[in-house]
Amino acid sequence: MAKLALQSVTKSFGDNIVCRGIDLSVDEGEMVCLIGASGSGKSTLLRCINLLEPIDDGRILLDGVDISEPGLDPQPIRARIGIVFQSFNLFPHMTAAENVMLAPRRVLGKSRETLEAPVKALFDRFDLGQRMQHYPDQLSGGQQQRVAIIRALAMQPEIMLFDEITSALDPELVGEVLDVLRQLRTEGMTMILATHEMAFARELADKVCFLDASRILEEGPPETLFSNPREDRTRAFLKRVL
């Protein structure tokens, strides 16, 4: 059984259709990359999976259970699915450590004391142990994104979603963030990335989906999709970005 399955998911904002019947299946430990032009619906799809946006029709199954049922309390589900955005992730009035501890304390009801050791371990694991007491504006853009990832991981999510998390970064800072993703990949985290980093997708993804006009036009293993795309539009897009 797939860890996460999307079945004919549709979503629109007024007259603007942003998902036209999307089907997608992600296995445990798999890394799926969503590529496509800006506005093709990648971000919205991730927000729908996380239940930040309610879907209009179709189903989203997590471990085979429909989590998109209208009226369902989204909070416990969101806690199982981590997401990191392009920017404005961190809460500027809290230190890095406070950012990370907020949800475990308020949602999981853990005490600051019991959290201290595991949070420290998390920061150390991603080489940010020295930055725990810094405020976001004292951190570089790359460090901020890494703290945001740590913050999502602190909730011990089953799936991680990444929404173009390197797009707003200076080029020299992209590497350190991608390294974190690499590390997560080796640790076996199930991940879905919306990304413009084609080289990275090609290197690490199990599956790449090309989104065009609010639907998944083509999907497949990176070697096939990047070297030998089936659709003209995929080929045209890849030609533009590669």
Partner 1 sequence: MTDQTSVPRGSAPGLTRRQAYEQRLRRRSNTLAAGSTLAVVLAVVVLVPLAPGWDAVKRSFFNGQVFAKTFPGLLDAFLMNVAIFLWCAPIIAILGLVIALFRDVRSPALYPLRLFGAIYTDVFRGLPVILVIYLIGFGVPGLGLPRPWNSPYVWGSLALILVYAAYVAEVIRSGIDSIHHSQRAAAASLGLSDGETMRYVVLPQAIRNVAPANMNLFIALQKDVALLSFIGPVEVFRQAGVYKSLLANFTPYVGAAVIFLALTIPATRYADYLMNKQRRRQS
Q: 130 Cβ partners below 8 Å, 6+ apart?
A: none
Residue 6: which H helix or E strand, with range? strand 4-13
> Scanning residues 19 to 48, which ones bind partner 1 (CB under 8 A)?
47
# residues contacting partner 1 (CB under 8 A): 27
- Length of the chain in terms of residues written: 242
> Scanning residues 85 to 104, which ones bind partner 1 (CB under 8 A)?
85, 87-93, 102-103
> Least distance (Å) from partner 1 to the CB of residue 8?
24
Q: Is 144 in the site for partner 1 (CB under 8 A)?
A: no
> Least distance (Å) from partner 1 to the CB of residue 107?
4
- Residue carrying structure tokens 């199930």: 190
Q: Are the CB atoms for 206 and 212 separated by under 8 Å? A: no
> Least distance (Å) from partner 1 to the CB of residue 78?
5
Longest Cα separation, the chain: 57
> Scanning residues 101 to 140, which ones bind partner 1 (CB under 8 A)?
102-103, 106-107
Give 106: exposed, middle or buried? Use CB within 10 Å, 0-12, 13-18, 19+: exposed
Q: Give CA–CA dist 105/186, Å, rounded.
A: 28
Give the amino acid at 66.
D
Q: Which of 39, 45, 44 is nearest to 24 (CA)?
A: 45
Stretch that binds partner 1, among 23-31, 70-78, 111-119, 166-174 (CB under 8 A): 70-78
Q: Give CA–CA dist 10/77, Å, rounded.
A: 20
Taking the least distance from each CB to partner 1, the nearer of 119 and 152 is 152
Q: Is 175 in the site for partner 1 (CB under 8 A)?
A: no
> Least distance (Å) from partner 1 to the CB of residue 71?
13
Q: Is 145 in the site for partner 1 (CB under 8 A)?
A: no
Among residues 36, 41, 82, 222, which is the contact residue for partner 1, using CB under 8 A? Answer: 82
Q: Are the CB atoms for 169 and 176 separated by under 8 Å? A: no
Q: 18 Cβ partners below 8 Å, 6+ apart?
A: 11, 12, 41, 44, 214
Stretch that binds partner 1, among 14-22, 72-80, 112-120, 169-177 (CB under 8 A): 72-80
Taking the least distance from each CB to partner 1, the nearer of 86 and 140 is 86
Taking the least distance from each CB to partner 1, the nearer of 89 and 143 is 89
Q: Is 52 in the site for partner 1 (CB under 8 A)?
A: yes
Residues at the contact surface with partner 1, assessed by CB under 8 A: 47, 50, 52, 74-76, 78-79, 81-83, 85, 87-93, 102-103, 106-107, 148, 151-152, 155
